[in-house]
Structure 1
Amino acid sequence: MTPDLVHPPKARPGDRIAVLSPSFAAPGVFPAVHEQAMRRLAETTGLIPVEFPTTRWVGAPPEARAADIDAAFADPGIRAIIAVAGGHDQITVIPHLDPALARADPKPFVGTSDNTNLHQWLWGHGIASFYGGSTQVHLGPGPAVDDVHARALRAALLTGGRLEVTDPGESEDVGLDWGDPRALEQYGEREPTEPWTWAGPARAVTGRTWGGCLEVLEWVLTAGRFPDDPAALDGAVLLIETSQELLPARNVGWIVRSLGERGLLGAVQAVLVGRPPVSGLDRRPDAAERARLRAEQRDVVLATVERYNPGAIVCAGVPFGHTRPQWILPHGGTITVDGAARRILADYS
């Protein structure tokens, strides 16, 4: 069965939070957005942001980035950790980490996208975390921090509790370029969200979560960084979402199919699918095309889960992952997926 994981103790206002760049050091390229994010992080949580040597070091080697992660866990004055952004090479950082440091003093970790690697590493060493959030994407840009994000961030880092995951009613795939001064004051182009799509039995299940960015999960599994026995996910709630790489629906289907062939889809009792980005800074299809692309990805995931696990409850379109406004969700914590009432309740303990 899905293992019981350690839930790190919450930070308290006035504590220090490590701000790390385990992948792309966006603050080194776009300092204005980063510095606004640091002010908002302090205002939203009451925590004191602490940068480490590689936080603004663009191109820092994996060993140096790993040393910062280790140092954050080793420092008793640091009571939480947040990643500035994702990237594409965190997989090379993981072999240099010392799990004994994280196990000795587990701390809430918040990050999304390429930070799927770190979430999987923590999960593999018995530590729960929180999937979502990056200071450079969700705190720094725009006129304010989105309400649902602020609520989830405080719950993950400070207060715990149980929150209902709701639809904020609007969404953007990408904000303004961080080098554009307007990025400090304006959101990206937002549009109304579609109703979530539910499939599977009309019942409620509660399970520990596992997952992350689908493309990165493929890397993690290819690198052999997951237990050989799919029973490790028995009864779990699978979290999957896709990135700004804008994979075609068929490629998404191929990866999900591989999860099925590995036995992982058959082990879980529910699947939450994030609202996918279908546009970027250099590509913005019209509204009809965006709707079609989202529907194609949704349909291929629903069909693939149905093939491997017709008893699973599936909800697609949930605002987590590469979208804003965005919920931060427990990773290794519990979520209740109620297919009858069509509600999602997340435990942030």
Structure 2
Amino acid sequence: MRSGDRVRIVAPAGSPSREEVARGVELLTSWGLRVELGEHVFDQWGYMAGRDEDRVFDLNAAFRDPGVRAVIAARGGKGAYRIVDDLATDALRRDPKPVVGFSDITHLHLAVWSRCRLASFLGPFAKSHDTYTGPASAESLRCALMTTDPVTLHRDASEATVDVTVDGTATGILMGGNLIAIRTETGAGLPSLQGAILFLEHQRGTGLGEVDRALTQLTRSRALDGLRGVALGQFLGFDRDAEDPALGGWGIRDVLHDRLAALGVPVLGGLPAGHGNHPPTIPPGHPGDHRHSHRNPHR
């Protein structure tokens, strides 16, 4: 993208605050982009940003407008899974443009790849002066949108998944996003993961059993057949599980290793990407290089 390009902010899932969107507009404008808002960005219907038909209308209007060069989700939340069947992916295939968002927006990324084979950007709605995204997140998104610089993630020893590793090297198309969103698309809109490196992250609010169920469902459905590697981002909210006697001493590392090591592919844990502070922007649909060994533990 270049200075002067138009971008459209939409709300395919949860409803954002006006203050958040205003700070997002401020930041994007400072990059020289011309920012527009979808017609229904500030609607609310239950826990979603307006009715299904209105949320998908805003998305499809952006897809069909040849002057819009990127579509940015104002937030995640819940609801994107309800509208994926009605996306105007034919228009997006004819006029490719990046879709940006994470968490529940994973549903859109999977649909765009499955139907159009288009890469997208798994990243936050960057807001100026924000303690959650912050300058590093904003710069990561700017580089992804407006430069051709490569995206490289390095392990962080403080992440809960850092010890979940299986040595090896793999190259493939990067796919994935939020674990629960990927599980929800099983049997419906989940694209083939043959030859892919699967990135997984998980938000707060569910227990070890829910992670186990999700990974088991993906395994039993054969959705993970043909994977070349797994990259693990942040799995948050499991810090004290190993102290819970009802869990038999298991924590999130144990569940992930138990389910993923059996796949027989390299696994790289500890990537600082997901629902934690200062999330980077990563590009599902792009070729990825995934390495882990005792000699090269960081890439």
- TM-score normalised per structure 2: 0.87
Please report how far the alpha carbon of residue 153 of structure 1 lies from its aligned counterpart in structure 2 after TM superposition. 0.7
Distance 1:93 1:139, change over 3 A: farther
Please report how far the alpha carbon of residue 266 of structure 1 lies from its aligned counterpart in structure 2 after TM superposition. 3.5
**What residue in structure 2 maps to residue 184 of structure 1?**
none
1:1-349 equivalent positions in 2, closer than 5 A: 11-26=1-16, 30-43=17-30, 45-59=31-45, 60-125=50-115, 126-135=117-126, 139=128, 141-142=130-131, 145-147=134-136, 149-166=137-154, 193=159, 196-201=162-167, 203-222=168-187, 224-227=188-191, 232-244=192-204, 246-278=205-237, 289=240, 296-307=251-262, 309-310=263-264, 312-340=265-293, 341-344=296-299
Two-structure CA RMSD over aligned residues (Å): 2.4
Instruction: Supply the distance in 2 between the matched residues of 1:161 and 1:198 (Cα, whole angstroms).
Output: 28
Render the CA deviation track for 1:156-184: whole Å, top value 9, x for unaligned. 21112213213578xxxxxxxxxxxxxxx
The amino acid of 2:240's aligned partner reads E
Distance 1:150 1:297, change over 3 A: same
Instruction: Supply the distance in 2 between the matched residues of 1:35 and 1:290 (Cα, whole angstroms).
Output: 39
Instruction: Supply the distance in 1 between the matched residues of 2:129 and 2:51 (Cα, whole angstroms).
Output: 25
Distance 1:83 1:290, change over 3 A: farther
Please report how far the alpha carbon of residue 218 of structure 1 lies from its aligned counterpart in structure 2 after TM superposition. 1.8
Instruction: Supply the distance in 2 between the matched residues of 1:144 and 1:278 (Cα, whole angstroms).
Output: 19
Conserved 8 A contact 2:161-2:253: no
Conserved 8 A contact 2:170-2:290: yes
Render the CA deviation track for 1:48-105: whole Å, top value 9, x for unaligned. 2210101111221111111111111111211111101112121221222222111111
**What residue in structure 2 maps to residue 176 of structure 1?**
none
Distance 1:194 1:90, change over 3 A: closer
Please report how far the alpha carbon of residue 291 of structure 1 lies from its aligned counterpart in structure 2 after TM superposition. 8.3
The amino acid of 1:324's aligned partner reads N
Please report how far the alpha carbon of residue 296 of structure 1 lies from its aligned counterpart in structure 2 after TM superposition. 1.5
Instruction: Supply the distance in 2 between the matched residues of 1:158 and 1:168 (Cα, whole angstroms).
Output: 26
The amino acid of 1:225's aligned partner reads G
Please report how far the alpha carbon of residue 272 of structure 1 lies from its aligned counterpart in structure 2 after TM superposition. 1.2
- TM-score normalised per structure 1: 0.75
> Identity of counterpart residues, as a percentage?
26
The amino acid of 1:289's aligned partner reads R
Render the CA deviation track for 1:23-52: whole Å, top value 9, x for unaligned. 1121xxx22232122212322x33222101
The amino acid of 1:66's aligned partner reads V
The amino acid of 2:144's aligned partner reads A
Instruction: Supply the distance in 2 between the matched residues of 1:305 and 1:334 (Cα, whole angstroms).
Output: 21
Conserved 8 A contact 1:200-1:339: yes
Render the CA deviation track for 1:91-122: whole Å, top value 9, x for unaligned. 22122222211111110111101111111110
Conserved 8 A contact 1:37-1:140: no
Conserved 8 A contact 1:168-1:325: no
Partner-residue secondary structure (3-state), 1:322: coil
Partner-residue secondary structure (3-state), 2:231: strand
Conserved 8 A contact 1:164-1:343: no
